[in-house]
Amino acid sequence: MLSAWFRVIRIRFLLSSVIAVSVGLAISWWHIGQIDILYAIMTMGGVVSLHASVDLLNDYWDFKRGIDTQTQRTKMSGGTGVLPEGLLQPNQVYRAGLGFLIIGALIGSYFVIIDGIVIGMILAFAVVSIYFYSTKIVDSGLAEIFVAIKGTMIVLGTYFIQTLEINLTTIMGGIFIGVLSSLVLFITSFPDFEADKAKGRKTLVISVGKQKATIVFWIFPIVIYSILISGIFYEIFPIYCIISIVMFPLIIKAGLLLKQNFDNINKLIPAMSYTITFSRITGALFVIGFLLNL
């Protein structure tokens, strides 16, 4: 039973939120030379709870809409398979999703009380968008945009809790992390194209078509590296953040594999794996870049 819960929460995908919080903390440390450990732990707990809520509610709605019963599941796409396999009941997953949403909202509410309206706006956006993500947002073709905004908001919120400020470094750093996460969502939607389309979802890949989406793929690394290089050039980021560029060959390889195999799920798996690895390691190196400058 416990393994089923770890599976449906998608523990390894929570890493994107862990990295986003870490970026906010790293920038805080870089700017003021200290962080409030208790607030950092609470922020991490709240953000991870909200992320877990998204994944649980997404699994619930995908099962209820019959999407997960039509997808070819891989390690990186097609849902967790927990509900189709009967390992958990839909109402259990739904209640757990709401439970994590409430936990995240309660932690966030504490910071609203002590830090004010900025955190309140970020929290309101998070709670509303999380609840409607798997229905209204995905059906409107806004999932990739939501994920990019979510990553940005996590960095902004984490930094604001530590410093009561928002600046250009956190905005650009947040977008950098948000687009990295959005890239993962984008490529992992290729295998689910037919099932998503049949059930009314409108992902970016569905909107432009698979073949054109292989070209759209390159927009993500272009944005990511444009932010990184311009941030370093204008001294918005420390020079050591340049280490994030070392994963460049991996995303090139992923893009080329995607172009060759966009219509073959089994051959697409390496491209998805490379993209996820690129996103996580690039984000981690970005954090290290701020810490090396101390």
The tens digit of pLDDT for each residue in 148-173 reads 999 999 999 999 999 999 999 999 99
The domain limits of the chain are: 2-292
pTM equals 0.95
H or E segment and range at residue 242: none
Q: Is 202 helix (H, G, I), strand (E, B) or coil?
A: coil
Res. 34: pLDDT tops 90: yes
The pLDDT score that the predictor gives to residue 133 is 86
The pLDDT score that the predictor gives to residue 294 is 61
Res. 68: pLDDT tops 80: no
The tens digit of pLDDT for each residue in 237-285 reads 999 999 999 999 999 999 999 999 999 988 999 999 999 999 999 999 9
Res. 19: pLDDT tops 70: yes
The pLDDT score that the predictor gives to residue 78 is 67
Closest Cα to residue 189, out of 83, 94, 262? 262
Topology adopted by domain 2-292 = Farnesyl Diphosphate Synthase (1.10.600)
- Residue whose entry in the numeric block shows the structure tokens 């770890």: 6
Question: Phi/psi zone of residue 116: left (φ > 0), alpha (ψ -120 to 50 degrees), beta?
Answer: left
pLDDT: which is higher, 293 or 47: 47
